[in-house]
Amino acid sequence: MKDLDRVDGKAKVTGAAKYAAEYNYPNLAYGIIAGSTIANGSIIAMDTKNAEQAPGVLTVITHLNLPKPPGYKSVTENEKPLSPKKEYKVFADNIIRFNGQPIALVIADTFERAVYAASLVKAQYVKKESHTDFNEERKTGKPIEGGDDFKNYVRGDADAYKKAPVKIEAEYTIPIEVHNPIEMHAVTVVWEGDDKVTVYDKTQSLMDAQKNIMDLFNLPEKNVHIICHYIGGAFGSAFSFWPHTAAAVMGAKKIGKPLKVLLSRDQMFTLVGYRPQAVQKLGIGAREDGKLLGITHEADAITCSYQTFTEGIVNISRTLYSCPNVNTRYKVYPLDLSVPTWMRGPGETTGTYALECAIDEMAYAVNMDPLEFRLLNYSETDPENNRPYSSKFLREALQLGADGIGWKDRNPKPRSMKEGDLLVGYGVGTGVFGAWRGGASVGAKFTSDGTLILQTAVTDMGPGTATAMTKLASDKFGIPADKIKFIMGDSNLPPGINQGGSGTTSSLGTTVNNAVVTLKQKLIDIVKQTSVFHTEKIHDVDLKDLVFENGYMMLASDPSTKISYTEVLKYSGSPQLEIIEKSEDYNDNKYSSYSYSAHFVKVLVNPATGVVTINKVVSAIDAGTIVSEKTARSQIIGGVIGGIGMALMEEGVIDHRYGRWVNNSFADYHVPVNKDVPHIEALFVNKPDPIINPMGSKGIGEVSMTGFPAAVANAVYHATGKRIRELPITADKLI
Ligand code: MOS
């Protein structure tokens, strides 16, 4: 069926869409967080007088005067054995764990007055030595120990690559990267009385946000209402229960007025997570004919002192290639920084960068084309657990991408291709991310005017969830898209699913699909009571005998025998059909399930200046059946742009003397702009996964990015003959 424009596109571009910071109330107060100026130590005195006396200020909340909510009383000394130190709850104590940690929430009658007054808050500290330099910490510090996340994995022999006829060893590093969505985090809180609260939050999980606030105040579910109709990008930054949200809910309660708390761009670097810095060592061994003999993938990454954040950086090396000996090691070092969090392709983006660069290096070491090398070592079943893949069309994706970029015309010799004065390079990188399905529920209502209303508590950080679900329902139910209303973004709706891990379409789509099947069956049950489909041959019409199209059900064998859904409804005696459909987690241990991407990049490198330009991108994706092609393509474009940033420009810089951010602004932390982004061709294999869900779809959001930075690094090598193993690949590293 015809592809669909974004159903919420018009609201977004006209400003009609309301974001968390755009809800206004009479008497609304504004809260701004003041941050610490040290990275480790404790507060011995607060000076809030000047702030309290500034114009319009209602109150200044600190650890000294916060009415501690019930949730704070149950704080036990960190239950996680892995965490070496105390848990962090905003304003719970005087301990400082990172520079920029909230020390006060300044509340005033206008935004500007709150910003000004927050600048007047001062604290006296007892300072302790702070550690934020990862390279130092790897030498002198201790990684966190214990727990399954840090168990070494061995298949066959450990470090077998060392004995292989051909081997490479290389170390790859990535800096801290920050999500930096356009919409900054904000929260608007409205208490009704003492025990009922409405929170307009920016969140990828309505249910988690609700649960966290219920726990904080000991409130029943029905008394905590979370609303998030629109999100201006998140990439993983809107999953956790962040300090500013807790501060806002507590602050609003204290003042007894609606309160809005907004983060500034620089606070987006300290208060809502980041992708952890990582150093990875790859050792790969192969026979002279290119068959892999051993892969060793080791990763060291950062976490913070008060929480142990882990992600599966090394896991993809266990599954992506057919190789008898694979071992992985993973360690994290606690630093005096704020906690890292998930960021697009969490773990896999970091891991595929190193693995896919090393695979390229290995291909050159055995004199093979990097594409051919990948196909030679293709895993047909999952070598990690010997399970078949529920579907794997990576070979097809590699072929599509290679054809699209013109790989066959590539001269494999490094620094051999030129356009004018510019060096030309082609590179490939494979991306992978787990495909899965979780449980979700959807309310579905078919009304007498022919409208289908779908309702579920999900949010959309940008992929186009409402559009994809509308498209799916339209295709499956057989009514035009403009007859479908998809309502979401409210915790009062039937519990949907978190938006993350590339799982929304698979999970929610299953429920929408099943809801439509249920509705069709109900229509059939009603129509069976009539004589509409009674023919000589068919007496008991069933789903399989009918076609549902354009609001009509018709006999497959004789389309002129038909009736409209609304006509059927009239026979039922009720004004509408209404159901709640619920789908459970898919959990079948017989298969291994992944989405794949094959990113192909053409770069131009100026040999005089070292400037790398991305000239062309072709990304071919195996994400099963594509449910909504236009939004899927947009996701690929978005992920690739994230990958361009990671490969060429994004780098979080900390001044280690103070543990303080240096480049916490859009002026200094570079992300791609229009001129950095060429035409991006997104191609889809579009073959169904027969196992995971009834649509045959697999996730798309993360494989759009995983593997891409490696494709760029490999293209830069092909163009210049230089292996830059440290992201971002900036001009200074090439000259
Ligand atoms: Mo994503 S990093 O699962 O929001």
Q: How far is the CA of 89 from the centre of ligand 1 (A)?
A: 23
Residue 80 predicted with pLDDT over 50: no
Q: What is the pLDDT of residues 686-701, one digit of tens each?
A: 999 999 999 999 999 9
Residue 438 predicted with pLDDT over 90: yes
Question: What pLDDT band is residue 305 in, cutting at 50, 70 and 90?
Answer: very high
From 136, 651, 702, 726, active-site residue: 702
Of the candidates 142, 187, 181, the one whose C-alpha atom is nearest the C-alpha of residue 273 is 181
Question: d(Cα 273, Cα 263) in Å, to the nearest integer?
Answer: 13
Ligand 1 atom nearest to CA at 500:
3
- If you ran DSSP here, which 8-state letter would residue 407 be given? G
Whether ligand 1 lies within 6 angstroms of the CB of 344 is answered as: yes
pLDDT at site 537: 63
- Going by alpha carbons, the residue nearest to atom 4 of ligand 1 is 236
Q: Are strands 57-61 and 153-155 parallel, antiparallel or unpaired?
A: unpaired
Whether ligand 1 lies within 6 angstroms of the CB of 610 is answered as: no
Residue 312 predicted with pLDDT over 50: yes
Of the candidates 375, 352, 267, the one whose C-alpha atom is nearest the C-alpha of residue 639 is 352
In terms of residues, how long is the chain?
Answer: 735
Q: How far is the CA of 638 from the centre of ligand 1 (A)?
A: 14
For the chain, domains (ranges, CATH) are: 11-128+184-230+238-269 (3.90.1170.50), 278-436+589-734 (3.30.365.10), 440-583 (3.30.365.10)
Question: What pLDDT band is residue 81 in, cutting at 50, 70 and 90?
Answer: very low
Ligand 1 atom nearest to CA at 343:
2
Whether ligand 1 lies within 6 angstroms of the CB of 436 is answered as: no
What integer best gives the mean pLDDT of the chain?
A: 96
Mutate to test the pocket of ligand 1, among 342, 646, 700 (most ligand atoms within 8 A of CB): 342
Mean pLDDT confidence for 148-152: 94
Whether ligand 1 lies within 6 angstroms of the CB of 272 is answered as: no
Question: d(Cα 188, Cα 200) in Å, to the nearest integer?
Answer: 5
Question: d(Cα 306, Cα 90) in Å, to the nearest integer?
Answer: 12
Residues 264-268: contacts with CB within 8 Å, 24+ apart? 264/32, 264/184, 265/184, 265/664, 265/665, 265/666, 266/661, 266/664, 266/665, 267/33, 267/35, 267/100, 267/184, 268/178, 268/179, 268/180, 268/184, 268/185, 268/237, 268/664
Residue 86 predicted with pLDDT over 70: no
Q: How far is the CA of 228 from the centre of ligand 1 (A)?
A: 17
Question: d(Cα 355, Cα 353) in Å, to the nearest integer?
Answer: 6
Mean pLDDT confidence for 71-87: 53
Told to judge if 129 belongs to the known catalytic residues of this protein, a careful annotator would answer: no
Whether ligand 1 lies within 6 angstroms of the CB of 236 is answered as: yes
**pTM more than 0.95:** yes
Q: Are strands 122-127 and 95-96 parallel, antiparallel or unpaired?
A: unpaired
pLDDT at site 538: 65
Task: Estimate to the nearest angstrom the gap between the alpha carbon of 70 and the chain centroid.
Answer: 32
Burial class (CB in 10 A: 0-12, 13-18, 19+), 192: exposed
Question: What pLDDT band is residue 277 in, cutting at 50, 70 and 90?
Answer: very high
Whether ligand 1 lies within 6 angstroms of the CB of 179 is answered as: no
CB atoms within 10 A of CB 453: 16
Question: d(Cα 434, Cα 717) in Å, to the nearest integer?
Answer: 29
Ligand 1 atom nearest to CA at 239:
4
298 token code pair: 């080791």
Lowest mean pLDDT among 8-22, 76-90, 231-245: 76-90
Q: How far is the CA of 501 from the centre of ligand 1 (A)?
A: 5
Ligand 1 atom nearest to CA at 701:
1
Please name the residues in contact with 280: beta carbons below 8 A apart, sequence gap of 6 or more.
Answer: 171, 172, 173, 297, 298, 299, 300, 313, 314, 350, 351, 353, 354
Report whether 185 contacts 238 (CB < 8 A). yes
Whether ligand 1 lies within 6 angstroms of the CB of 342 is answered as: yes
Q: What is the pLDDT of residues 329-388, one digit of tens each?
A: 999 999 999 999 999 999 999 999 999 999 999 999 999 999 999 999 999 999 999 999
Dihedral angle, C-alpha 459, 435, 684, 13, nearest 10 °: 10
Q: Which helix (H) or strand (E) holds 367?
A: none
Q: How far is the CA of 341 from the centre of ligand 1 (A)?
A: 9
Q: What is the pLDDT of residues 255-265, one digit of tens each?
A: 999 999 999 99
712 token code pair: 């760029």
Q: What is the pLDDT of residues 536-589, one digit of tens each?
A: 666 678 888 999 999 999 999 999 999 999 999 999 989 999 999 999 998 778
Q: What is the DSSP string of 457-512?
A: B---SSS-HHHHHHHHHHHHHTS-GGGEEEE-SBTTSSB---S-TT-HHHHHHHHH
Can you name the residues that pair with 177 across neighbouring β-strands? 275
What's the first-to-final CA gap in the chain, in angstroms? 52
pLDDT at site 536: 64
Q: Which residue has the tokens 């993350």?
A: 500
Q: How far is the CA of 239 from the centre of ligand 1 (A)?
A: 8
Question: d(Cα 494, Cα 458) in Å, to the nearest integer?
Answer: 9
Mean pLDDT confidence for 638-649: 98
pLDDT at site 84: 40
Lowest mean pLDDT among 10-24, 77-91, 107-121, 124-138: 77-91
Residue 79 predicted with pLDDT over 80: no
Bigger pLDDT: 415 vs 148:
415
Whether ligand 1 lies within 6 angstroms of the CB of 427 is answered as: no
pLDDT at site 534: 78
Burial class (CB in 10 A: 0-12, 13-18, 19+), 224: buried
Mutate to test the pocket of ligand 1, among 185, 228, 344 (most ligand atoms within 8 A of CB): 344
Question: What pLDDT band is residue 77 in, cutting at 50, 70 and 90?
Answer: very low
Residue 248 predicted with pLDDT over 70: yes
Q: How far is the CA of 325 from the centre of ligand 1 (A)?
A: 31
Lowest mean pLDDT among 133-137, 144-148, 241-245, 410-414: 144-148
